[in-house]
Amino acid sequence: MTTRVGVIDYGGGNLRNVLNVLKYLGHEGSLVSGPDDFAGIDRLVFPGVGAFGDCAGELDRRGLREPIVEWIRADRPYFGICLGYQVLFERSSECPEVKGLGVFEGEVVQFPLDRGLKVPHMGWNRVEPVDPDFPIWEGAPDPLYLYFVHSFYPRPSDDRIIASTTEYGDAFASSIASGNTFAGQFHPERSQEAGLRLMGNFLSR
């Protein structure tokens, strides 16, 4: 069944890549640039590349903050990618004065710069599902490697929402899941067959 998928447009992000993936998987994608664009969509994807503060500010300017929060709190299907994962939390050390969406308690922190890690964390890395039977992981390769590009990552206050972890210096929460909300620090649209599998699972849930 074809579903209409809204893709959050805040003036940045891998919009074209995500729209192409949706088309490849047989689903219609449309940009959500303002509150009126939520009408008629079945699922919401928030792809993100850029700075936390710029993103949150643009969501406010476009009137997107409240509709996104209402969508998630109504437990409608949401897939957050990279910055679309980070912005779900209350705050980020990248821009301490800027409020995130605050859907989940926690903060976004930077990888330590004094431990010999290359920052940003860039490239393929292993993703360890907390519950391999969770529907988003169905049919995914084991071991599962996905593509990352980021210097910051969320630190959820509630460990129960962590859906996967990834090692980079220490283990960090590379994705979360709560109801029909799933969000990850990795880029499924850049992760070849494994990423397509995750996106396809989200679209068919």
Active site residues: 82, 187, 189
Q: How far from 74 is each of 67, 134, 151, 164, CA to CA, in Å?
A: 10, 21, 31, 24
Contact 30, 37 (CB under 8 A): yes
Q: What are the start-end ranges of the H helices in 25-102?
A: 52-61, 65-73, 83-86
Q: How far from 162 is each of 16, 40, 78, 81, 165, CA to CA, in Å?
A: 28, 30, 16, 15, 8
B/e letters for 168-185, b = 16+ CB within 10 Å, e = fewer, are beeebbbbbbbebbbbbb
In whole angstroms, give the CA distance from residue 191 to residue 93. 27
Residue in this structure with the two tokens 């919401």, named with its chain if needed: 44
Contact 104, 178 (CB under 8 A): yes
Amino acid at position 161, single letter: I
Contact 82, 49 (CB under 8 A): yes
